[in-house]
Amino acid sequence: MPAREELPDTLKRSPKKAQDTFLKTHDSAVDQYGEGERAHRTAFAAVKHSFEKIGDHWETKEQKGPSDEGRAGKTAGGVDANASKAHLLDVAKRLDVTGRSRMTKPELVDAIRKANDRETRRARQ
């Protein structure tokens, strides 16, 4: 079991509930699948059900549910791809995404994912 100190950086900067979700699911997945990437992916999938990645941390979603549903195997990197366009525009504004008002919903999801990745890299430095 990863200790709270061994959590991924984005979860260290997130609410305790997100951390607890990851740790509890990871423990269960290790029991079922063994230690490794599969347990880690399973734990993040559980986090994505109730949280979305905003910048360098995870925040509670307005509605629970899979973030990446309907994306044909592609991941949105923690962005709630099923959220309304208004919500995505709000997140893009918080992340200072330029050109957001002219973007389609899929373009917003991709731009937010890229902005999140930038913020995470910046926070690690």
User: What is the three-state SS of the chain?
Assistant: CCCHHHCCHHHHCCCHHHHHHHHHHHHHHHHHHCCCHHHHHHHHHHHHHHEEEECCEEEECCCCCCCCCCCCCCCCCCCCCCCCHHHHHHHHHHCCCCCHHHCCHHHHHHHHHHHHHHHHHHHHC
Which CATH number characterizes residue 90's domain? 1.10.1740.70
Is 71's pLDDT higher than 80? no
The residue segments making up the domain with residue 109 are 4-124
Question: Does the reported pTM lie above 0.85?
Answer: no
Which of the four pLDDT bands, split at 50, 70 and 90, describes residue 73?
Answer: very low
Q: What is the pLDDT of residues 92-108, one digit of tens each?
A: 999 999 999 999 999 99
Domain count, the chain: 1
Say yes or no to pLDDT of 118 above 80: yes
